[in-house]
Amino acid sequence: MRADARAPIGVFDSGVGGLSVLKALREALPHERFVYYADTAHAPYGERGDAFVLARSLAVARELVEDQGAKALVVACNTATAAAVHVLRATWPELPIVGLEPALKPAVAATRTGCIGVLATRGTLASRKFQALHAALAGQARFLLQPCDGLAAAIERLDTPEIIAASARWTGAIGRFGSEPGQIDMLVLGCTHYPLVRPQIAALVGPQVTLIDSGEAVARQTERVLRSTGLLRTPGQADGRLHLLASGSTAALQRAARHWLGWAAS
């Protein structure tokens, strides 16, 4: 594998959720070229168990690195990062790989009530990686953790009634929201699908609650890593192209990119 700044950045998720990260990446790195892979034939990952997610993450990463020639990888999925990022790093030790974790640290820095809600997949919350993060911060705030079974799947299907029903079910189950002591004032969107339905979730929890995700932090981290490895494109090398790939229907992924982000992409 030869590192080349002109090569694309590979980004993947179980499905359409990583588009929320890709949006932040493209805004922060407008000169870069991206290849996005949605593993839609195997989504969602969140309720499938580690062995399945690890095997799929390896297969998708191999496609991006070995077939598409990606110069770096962004694992735009909390569930896949928790299950597989250590194996991906061991498999391609020279390759810059940026993973995601639910934004607990910025939530701790911003909370006023000391009470933080975390919405994520069952797989993420059960992972050792998440449990270590939670344990490291547990003394600094009270965290209410809520697995959101079915929400990512509803977003994949563009099923608006079920998106609203699942969002209401899981935000209703987590606790009380507001700015009074003991109420949740920060809500971490710990799955990359959830920022796509931020307006629906925001409407349920009310205006006093701040919704926080990891997209912009990951974009900044990706820029830092590319710069330090000499792989960042300069404005003179501007490209900005986006290639969308899927293990399921590419046309459906393009429709999803248009629906969620207003993009027309090749």
What is the Cα gyration radius of the chain?
A: 18
**Least distance in angstroms from the C-beta of 97 to ligand DGL:** 16
Distance (Å, rounded) from C-alpha 125 to C-alpha 238? 39
Is 191 catalytic? The answer is yes
CB of 128 to ligand DGL, least distance (A): 15
Side chain identity at 250, as an amino acid letter?
A: T
Nearer to ligand DGL, 40 or 183 (CB): 40
Catalytic residue selected from 11, 54, 104, 191: 191
Place of tokens 């609203």: 164
148 is catalytic: no
- Burial label for 244, CB within 10 Å (0-12, 13-18, 19+), is buried
Footprint on this chain of ligand DGL (rule: CB under 6 A): 13-14, 17, 43-46, 77-79, 121, 124, 152, 191-193
We find the least distance from the C-beta atom of residue 102 to ligand DGL, in angstroms, to be 9
Among candidates 171, 119, 113, 114, which has minimal Cα distance to 142? 114
- Nearer of residues 43 and 257 to ligand DGL, judged by Cβ: 43
* Minimum separation from the CB atom of position 13 to ligand DGL (A): 5
* Cα-to-chain-centroid distance, residue 203: 21
Catalytic residue selected from 11, 64, 77, 231? 77
Beta carbon nearer to ligand DGL, 152 or 242: 152
| Tokens representing residue 170 in the block | 């899981």
Residue type, 5: A
- Sign, CA dihedral 131-137-139-141, equals negative
The residue among 80 and 231 lying less far from ligand DGL, judged by its C-beta, is 80
- Structure tokens given for 24: 């932040």
* Side chain identity at residue 18, one-letter code: G
Find tokens 């820029």 and name the residue. 223
> Which residue of this chain has its Cβ atom nearest to ligand DGL in the complex?
46
Among all residues, which ones are annotated catalytic? Answer: 77, 191
